[in-house]
Amino acid sequence: MKKNVPAEFAFEELLEETAEHLKVLGHPQRLRILDFLRENGESRVGEIVRKTKLPQAVASLHLNKMRRSGLVISRRDAREVYYWIATEIAQVVADALHRKHDRALGLDPLK
């Protein structure tokens, strides 16, 4: 968001940005990746592929979309590419998904 923008315009920008992030997250495979990153932190693509059981090409496609939208950050170290959660909205969604899953399993004490 830009500085020196009237509050109502800043809020509108925030709403638009959040809506775009939620659109990108509105896919089960991206949510699966997000959940993995929540649980494991910075991870190599190979780990993400192996643990999420997504084909390499599919995982790369989704990670790239999430990176372009700013939800995750990547870095390259030699031949390895690492990803991690980059935004508060992505972390909040991942945490909410995890709590909902725990509740469904009867593991959430705050039911």
Number of domains in the chain: 1
- Residue 109: per-residue pLDDT: 63
- Residue 84: per-residue pLDDT: 98
Domain of residue 87, CATH code = 1.10.10.10
Q: Has residue 78 been placed in a domain?
A: yes
For range 16-34, the mean pLDDT: 95
**C-beta atoms surrounding 20 within 10 Å:** 14
Checking if the pLDDT of 36 tops 90, the result is: yes
Asked if 56 and 44 count as a contact pair (C-beta separation under 8 A), the reply is no
Q: Has residue 110 been placed in a domain?
A: no
Q: Has residue 12 been placed in a domain?
A: no
Residue 69's domain spans which residues? 28-104
Q: Has residue 7 been placed in a domain?
A: no
Q: Has residue 18 been placed in a domain?
A: no
Integer Cα distance of 84 and 10 in angstroms:
27
- Residue 104: per-residue pLDDT: 87
Q: Has residue 34 been placed in a domain?
A: yes
Q: Which two tokens stand for residue 104?
A: 């469904």
- Residue 92: per-residue pLDDT: 95
CA 81 and chain centroid, separation: 16
- Residue 108: per-residue pLDDT: 65
Taking Cα atoms as reference points, which of 81, 106, 102 lies closest to residue 39?
Answer: 102
For range 62-71, the mean pLDDT: 97
Q: Has residue 83 been placed in a domain?
A: yes
Integer Cα distance of 75 and 4 in angstroms:
32
